[in-house]
Amino acid sequence: MEPFGARLVRAMVERGPLCVGVDPHPSLLAAWGLTDSVDGLARFSDGVVAAVGDRVAVIKPQSAFFEKYGSRGIAILESTIRQCREAGALILLDVKRGDIGSTMQAYASAYLDPSSPLAVDAVTASPYLGVGSLAPLFATAVDHHAGVFVLALTSNPEGAGVQHARSADGRTVAQTVVDEISLLNAGATPLGSFGIVVGATIGRTGHELANVNGPMLAPGLGAQGGAPAGLREVFGDDLSAVLPSYSREVLGAGPDPGALRAAAERARDACAAVLRP
């Protein structure tokens, strides 16, 4: 199997630069005429994947909205992962895990080992126990040709107090995260498998992102206020590794499959116009 970075590049070329979230928030379930229940969760997730799974490069289920229903919700997450894989989309599971030692290894095995029913192509992770604490996740990703997206510069207002704090060498904590991910990707072609997460709404970051040599996930587009035209301000002139992510802007078009597909295509085309002028 090719490394995740190479598979992602190919998927973005073939299907366009777009990640669509599967976020079964209660308000979205209600907007689709569904109940906030296991049945509503299943119908929502099935509907999203059926509509766009064969058309977008990446689908990003938000694990928390499945976990809230316990074992039945996890079973639906497993089904959603299977359906995404059958549709040919890469699966980025938004779990934002971060721990140490054997616990981090257990998370890595759960999400990145193909023997697990929850195995996906890539996961999100939190580095705020130290980037080094994620070593078992990185190692497991290498073993199974998977990817990891590490939080770096998020758009939530509480994040700046930690991410912009400066270490002894003068770099911000976020820049330290970015630099360590860059080292993991050194020499990888056409793109490394370790990425960063940078909010699409944060504007000029004051950080050096050009040397990551890995994918840069940009959540927050659409209903959260971000626009494709603003990606250059966030990431600079080289946008080739940016993976724009939409959730509510696309999901809100459901439950009609045609409307969902049309919303995803509009988002994809708007991003492609900026990323590939």
Whether residue 175 has pLDDT greater than 80: yes
- Does residue 194 sit in helix, strand or coil? strand
Q: Which of 72, 96, 171, 248 is catalytic?
A: 96
**Overall average pLDDT of the 243-252 stretch:** 96
Residue partners of 113: CB distance under 8 A and separation at least 6: 119, 140, 144
Give CA–CA dist 176/182, Å, rounded.
10
Which pairing describes strands 147-153 and 90-97: parallel, antiparallel, or unpaired? unpaired
- Does the predicted TM-score (pTM) go above 0.85? yes
Share of the chain above pLDDT 70, in %: 100
C-alpha closest to that of 185 among 171, 196, 197: 196
pLDDT, tens only, 116-144? 999 999 999 999 999 999 999 999 999 99
Per DSSP, the residues of 201-215 read TS----S--TT--S-
Contact 172, 208 (CB under 8 A): no
Residue 214's pLDDT is: 98
Torsion sign over Cα 120, 139, 219, 99: positive
Q: What is the mean pLDDT of the chain?
A: 96
* Structural domains in the chain, sorted by start: 4-275 (3.20.20.70)
What pLDDT shows up at residue 46?
A: 98
pLDDT per residue over 18-52, tens digit each? 999 999 999 999 999 999 999 999 999 999 999 99
Residue 64 has pLDDT above 90, yes or no: yes
* 68 catalytically annotated: no
Provide the 3-class DSSP secondary structure of residue 95.
strand
pLDDT at position 119: 98
